[in-house]
Amino acid sequence: MSRNLNARSVKPMLERLEDRVTPTVLFGSTNVVPTMLTGVNNVLSDMKTAQSNLKTDFTNAVAALPQTPVGRPNGDDVRVWSHPFGKAVADYQQILSDQASIHQMVTTDNAVLQGVALQELILGDPIDFIVLTFFPNSGFNPATQLTSVQNQADQIRKDTTVQNEVNFVFLLRAMADPGFNAARDQITIAGSVNTPSFGQ
């Protein structure tokens, strides 16, 4: 057996790769904030619809129940009133539930963004972490869009018109009636809903 000493062997070397940077979750084509905003904006849209429905149902409830001593409510008035009043209570419950949902969604989304940014920092890409940590309320930070939706939800709930509607006292019996009992014969929309146990 003869050896060929002219044959060359090449030892493979690893190719040197350029530094790889993890894609950012806040900017460019990998920005996840618009996806998060879609869900939050859907709930806000539902909340605005409930606000509009509340206005209509409240107006119908007021029209159905005479509130003057001359036009005392009777059983028929109360029966007619109960339907729009019940709808108004459901509308306000929807507003409260949507606001609480938006708060939970924004809190969760911000926690996810912080967690991803921290992981990217550990892996050597500090951009998202710097933006979320040092520019939390700036226009430079796309996550402020989530907080903006949350603020809109808070404004709807605190709106003066909404508060006047839900705290309006309906009299189911004239105060001058001998059997009048404030605990039984006065009712508000706000007093008839259950506040969600999560969020606000």
Q: pLDDT tens per residue, the chain (200 residues)?
A: 555 656 565 566 555 545 555 567 777 777 888 889 999 999 999 999 999 999 999 999 999 887 655 556 677 778 888 999 999 999 999 999 999 999 999 999 999 988 988 888 888 888 888 888 888 777 777 888 999 999 999 999 999 999 999 999 988 877 777 777 878 888 899 998 876 555 44
CA-to-CA distance for 159 and 10, rounded, in angstroms?
Answer: 77
User: Across-strand partners of 171?
Assistant: 186
CA-to-CA distance for 54 and 161, rounded, in angstroms?
Answer: 10
Both tokens of 65, joined, read 């129940």
- What pLDDT digit, counting tens, does each position of 117-157 carry? 888 888 888 888 888 888 877 777 788 899 999 999 999 99
* pTM of the complete model: 0.79
Handedness of CA 58, 61, 65, 66 (dihedral sign): positive
